[in-house]
Amino acid sequence: MQISMSVPYDEKQLRRTLRFVLRPQLRTIRVLGGVLFVLGLALVALKPSMSLAYAALVLGLLFVVAIPPITVAQSMRVQSDVIRDGLHMTLDDEWLTLTYPLAESRFRWSGLGRVIETPEVWYVMFGKTQAITIPKDPMTEEQRATFSAFVNGLRPADATPAVRRGSTI
């Protein structure tokens, strides 16, 4: 397999990728916020004059509604300016290579954890929080089929599948 493509910077896709990577942590925060909110409601019902009940309600709402978008926005702000110029991506049998104008990263396929496929991209995971987004748009249909077959062939038949079909984030 030898696939080479230019990938322009896409802020919306970067935001979706960050939400994808942060999803497990944000889910926990939202659940805790929901529990805190319900606890606050119960305390208000039992004792409306208790200020702690209102604090629990407000904190619960913050955890459910405000913290996830703030976390993603903060993650967007701390991204390096290097990525804003787009990149050149090369996929071959041994390496995934990302070449930016000022930096280069290489990942061996042998370090692959899993691949999640969505309608627009593949999220290639090298660990729990290291996700490389491989967009489908710059690829031809033949390249998509070649890459999909390559990724499916990375795991032995008796192992768990490397590719999981996902929904759009």
pLDDT of residue 94: 93
Q: What is the pLDDT of residues 12-26, one digit of tens each?
A: 999 999 999 999 999
pLDDT of residue 169: 43
Domain extents for the chain?
11-77, 87-155+161-165
Q: What is the pLDDT of residues 99-141, one digit of tens each?
A: 999 999 999 998 888 899 999 999 999 888 888 999 999 999 9
The helix, strand and coil proportions of the chain, stated in percent and rounded to the nearest 5, come to: 50, 25, 30
- Give whole-number Cα distances, 85 to 3, 102, 133, in Å: 20, 9, 16
Q: Report the alpha-carbon distance of residue 96 to residue 89 in Å, rounded.
A: 7
89 or 168, which is more confident: 89
Closest by alpha carbon to 13, among 113, 112, 132, 102? 132
CATH ID of 87-155+161-165, from 3.30.420, 3.30.1380, 2.40.350, 2.30.29: 2.30.29
User: Tokens in use for 37?
Assistant: 């909110």
